Amino acid sequence: MRCAQFDAATRFDCTDRLAQIAAPTLIVHGAKDRTAPRALAEQMRAQIPGARLALVAGGHRFPLTRPQQLVDEVDAFLVAH
C-alpha cells in the first residue's frame, strides 16, 4: 500500500511555476536536512523572484529542535515586509 503523502512529496513537481510567485517569499530550510536536500531550497530561492533563503541549524526537524531560530527568521522577514 502506497502512502499518498509520500507520493505527493516525491512525484509532484511544480518548479516550472516558481517564477510566477510574486509575493515576498521566505524559504526556511534545515542546513543539514537529509530528507529535502539543501540544493532544492537553493533552487527554489533562485527561481522565485526576490526570495530569501534562511538556513536553520539542524535537519528536517528544526521547527522542533530550533524553534526560536525559526521564530526569529519569520519575525525578521515579516517586519521587513
Give the contacts of 54 (CB within 8 A, at least 6 positions apart): 26, 27, 28, 29, 73, 77
Q: Are 73 and 65 in contact (CB under 8 A)?
A: no
pTM over 0.85: no
H or E segment and range at residue 26: strand 26-30
Domain segments of the chain as ranges: 4-80
Grid cell of 75 as nine digits: 519575525
pLDDT in tens, the chain (81 residues): 567 877 777 787 888 999 999 999 999 998 888 888 899 899 999 999 999 999 988 877 888 788 888 899 999 999 999
Which pLDDT belongs to residue 2?
64
Q: Which CATH number fits domain 4-80: 1.25.40.10, 3.40.50.300, 3.30.720.210, 3.40.50.1820?
A: 3.40.50.1820
